[in-house]
Amino acid sequence: MSAYVMKKGWIIALGLLLIGVIGAFVWYNNLKKEAASEPGTYNDTLKPRLELSRFDFTDISDDEIKLNMYLLIDNPLPVELKASKIRYTIYIADTPVIEDEYKKGIAIKSGDSSLIELPVVILSKKLSGVLATLERKRIDSTTYKIKTSFDLDVPIMGSRTFTVTTERYLPTYFIPKVTVEDIDLGKFNFKELDVAAKVNVENRNKFPYNITDAYYTVTINGKQIAEGSQPEPILIKAQATTPVIFPVTGQVGKTLSVLPKMVFDKKDTPYEVVFRCKIIDKDGNLSFKNSKFITTIRGTLDDFKKKK
């Protein structure tokens, strides 16, 4: 092969490479112009876009609240978006309630989008403080904000860190509050004892919901004396306290062993009621779709005397 032909081949290859670089540059700048023409947070920027689609409560307990946040991530970049992890901070009413990492990694093709399910655990004590402030100020709707950052290796642009923030204005979601008004001992035979637990369920939300598949245990002075279940749904009214009587089947032997303290020493006899159920929004709100709720109510038998 002659030197002339080889030289000509190199010129053609360099020309094609130059055209490719120019084409990529023009495409990138066109995308930047499109981003600049969009209103809002992403003005004049070309970076991943984030939208908080919804969040679902999965487990609510006295210690922590578990929920899934669904984030719609859009990739307007001219290359595939790859990140080994997502760092995020969640704010409720501009107060940070959790800071964590999503370590599964994501990969979104150029011009495509993906819905990410982000599992979140919030300490109940932390959230209760925020909700107490909102309730004191009579604020029934607030901002839910999530701030994320991605470390990406973008061709041409090099290593980049993108920080994206999104927020939604939604109703304030208050955690149900369950209190025990009384524990009544009823008829008994040699095998079973009828016990009725009188319970109040306080719902501070602006919407009603149903509780279903309820299961509960009663422990007095360290001994579990009864348990029961209520599979049928019970309507809990909005912004109200709903009284409910749960039937419980007691164990005669264990009940008789603590009966003297129940009658003569109520002040120093502790009780514990563990209550489990599912919460279903009666209007189909996905945020409370079969959310599991568990709470433990503690006190002494003397507390019931004070409430009467």
Q: For 128-186, how does the pLDDT look when each residue is reduced to its tens digit (9 = 90+)?
A: 888 888 888 888 888 989 998 877 766 555 567 778 888 888 888 888 889 888 877 66
Angle at 42 between CA 40 and CA 45, to 5 degrees: 145
| Last residue in a domain, options 133, 150, 171 | 171
If asked whether residues 167 and 75 sit together in one domain, one would say yes
| Last residue in a domain, options 152, 171, 190 | 171
- Report helix, strand or coil for 179: strand
CATH of residue 115? 2.60.40.10
Q: For 211-264, how does the pLDDT look when each residue is reduced to its tens digit (9 = 90+)?
A: 999 999 888 888 888 888 989 999 999 999 999 988 877 776 666 677 667 666
Bridge partners of 281? 209
The amino acid at 242: T
Q: Which domain holds residue 254?
A: 177-307
Tell me whether residue 42 is in a domain: no
Model pLDDT, residue 41: 38
Contacts of 269 (CB under 8 A, 6+ apart): 220, 221, 258, 261, 262, 300, 301, 302
Tell me whether residue 212 is in a domain: yes
If asked whether residues 4 and 86 sit together in one domain, one would say no
Average the pLDDT over each of 30-39, 84-93, 296-305 and give the range with the smallest value: 30-39
Q: What does the block give as tokens for 139?
A: 């604020």
Tell me whether residue 113 is in a domain: yes
- Report helix, strand or coil for 15: helix
Residue 95 near residue 123, CB atoms below 8 Å: no
Q: For 109-122, how does the pLDDT look when each residue is reduced to its tens digit (9 = 90+)?
A: 888 998 888 888 88
d(CA 258, CA 226): 12
d(CA 65, CA 81): 31
Q: How many domains does the chain have?
A: 3
If asked whether residues 32 and 97 sit together in one domain, one would say no
Contacts of 54 (CB under 8 A, 6+ apart): 69, 70, 286, 287
Tell me whether residue 245 is in a domain: yes
Is the pLDDT confidence value at 3 over 70? no
If asked whether residues 28 and 96 sit together in one domain, one would say no
If asked whether residues 116 and 160 sit together in one domain, one would say yes
